[in-house]
């Protein structure tokens, strides 16, 4: 039972890790709410588990990753399974996927893992609370918790190419706005590296080396597709959902020195240019 991962909320980032571990002979159990997704998981070689539903099989696994976001300010995994998880002292590694939104707005300045958490949005505040709840459980139960603060995720099927192919594509301009990003394959690499060399209690920023304004990324993606840059729209005039608007409430550059120094990670895609080029090459090789 030394190579069994329970992936709670088996989504985009968790699948990047699973692909790496499956190739090494791991057993992966992935949770979903959807019976249709369960069948897709099975086709990948992942054992599906409908959850919430049956109790999570902590006794059968050696490693646990939770990718589940807070709901109404509370962590649903801890609410439903915290007591059972507290009894899983045999776990060799426990990971929680958080977000760089916990740092809040820094006016485009740099942050690292030691920067005070001052979230500017309700989602960010919920993540800070969730991180604290996971840390308290780990402290009291002696669990090997690792927290990963993910920057904006992009990769195959998710990112600027999909936006540009939409008929209403446009670049939202907010002066001074800058985001950090991370290719999904590099998320998988960071998680795998942490599993290989656990540091219980560690917190890691997971981002690339090149924070950039969102319009720069869209313009570069458009050039790769042979398209003109998308039309500009001022942030104040943009018709954005509350979720999308909340992303623009924070501007910061996120440092990633710790994943390199402590985990020995060498990013496959250290900037959005290399990441987008790889995605486009893969799409074209598949005739997309």
Which two structure tokens, joined as six digits, stand for 80? 């439903």
Residue 76 within a domain: yes
What's the burial of 280, exposed, middle or buried (CB within 10 Å: 0-12/13-18/19+)?
A: middle
| Alpha carbons 1 and 90: distance in angstroms, whole number | 10
**Range 88-112 burial, b when 16+ CB lie within 10 A, else e:** beebbbbbbbbbbbbbbbbeeeebe
Residue 219 within a domain: no
Residue 125 within a domain: yes
pLDDT of residue 288: 57
What's the burial of 124, exposed, middle or buried (CB within 10 Å: 0-12/13-18/19+)?
A: buried
pLDDT of residue 2: 84
Q: Which of 259, 35, 48 is nearest to 148 (CA)?
A: 259
Question: What CATH number corresponds to the domain at position 58?
Answer: 3.40.50.720
pLDDT of residue 1: 63
**Other Cβ atoms within 10 Å of 41 Cβ, number:** 22
Residue 191 within a domain: yes
- Full pLDDT tens readout for the chain, 288 residues: 689 999 999 999 999 999 999 999 999 999 999 888 888 899 899 999 999 988 999 999 999 999 999 998 899 999 999 999 999 999 999 999 999 999 999 999 999 999 999 998 899 999 999 999 999 999 999 999 999 999 999 999 898 998 898 888 899 999 999 999 999 999 999 999 999 999 999 999 999 999 999 999 999 999 999 999 999 999 988 888 888 888 888 999 999 999 999 999 999 999 999 999 999 998 887 765
Residue 277 within a domain: no
Residue 234 within a domain: no
Number of folded domains that form the chain: 1
Residue 170 within a domain: no
pTM of the shown model = 0.95
Residue 66 within a domain: yes
Positive or negative torsion for Cα 76, 80, 85, 86 = positive
Q: Residue 47 sits in which domain range?
A: 4-154+182-209+253-269
């Amino acid at each position: 039972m030394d190579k069994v991962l329970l992936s709670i909320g088996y989504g985009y980032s968790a699948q990047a890790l699973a692909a790496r571990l499956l190739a090494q002979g791991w057993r992966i159990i992935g949770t979903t709410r959807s019976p249709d997704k369960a069948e897709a998981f099975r086709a990948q070689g992942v054992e599906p588990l409908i959850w919430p539903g049956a109790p999570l099989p902590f006794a059968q696994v050696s490693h646990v990753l939770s990718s589940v976001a807070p709901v109404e300010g509370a962590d649903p995994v801890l609410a439903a399974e915290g007591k059972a998880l507290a009894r899983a002292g045999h776990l060799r590694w426990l990971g929680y996927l958080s977000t760089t939104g916990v740092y809040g707005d820094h006016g485009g300045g740099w942050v690292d893992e030691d920067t005070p958490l001052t979230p500017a949005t309700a989602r960010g505040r919920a993540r800070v609370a969730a991180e604290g709840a996971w840390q308290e459980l780990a402290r009291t139960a002696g669990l090997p918790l690792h927290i990963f603060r993910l920057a904006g995720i992009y990769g195959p099927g998710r990112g600027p190419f999909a936006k540009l192919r939409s008929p209403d594509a446009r670049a939202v301009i907010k002066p001074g706005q800058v985001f950090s990003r991370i290719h999904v394959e590099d998320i998988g690499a960071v998680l795998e590296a942490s599993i290989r060399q656990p540091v219980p209690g560690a917190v890691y920023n997971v981002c690339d080396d090149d924070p950039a304004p969102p319009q720069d990324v869209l313009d570069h993606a458009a050039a790769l597709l042979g398209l003109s840059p998308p039309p500009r729209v001022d942030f104040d005039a943009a018709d954005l959902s509350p979720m999308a608007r909340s992303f623009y409430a924070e501007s910061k550059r996120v440092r990633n020195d710790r994943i390199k120094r402590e985990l020995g990670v060498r990013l496959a895609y250290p900037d959005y240019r290399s990441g987008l080029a790889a995605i486009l090459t893969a799409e074209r090789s598949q005739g997309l």
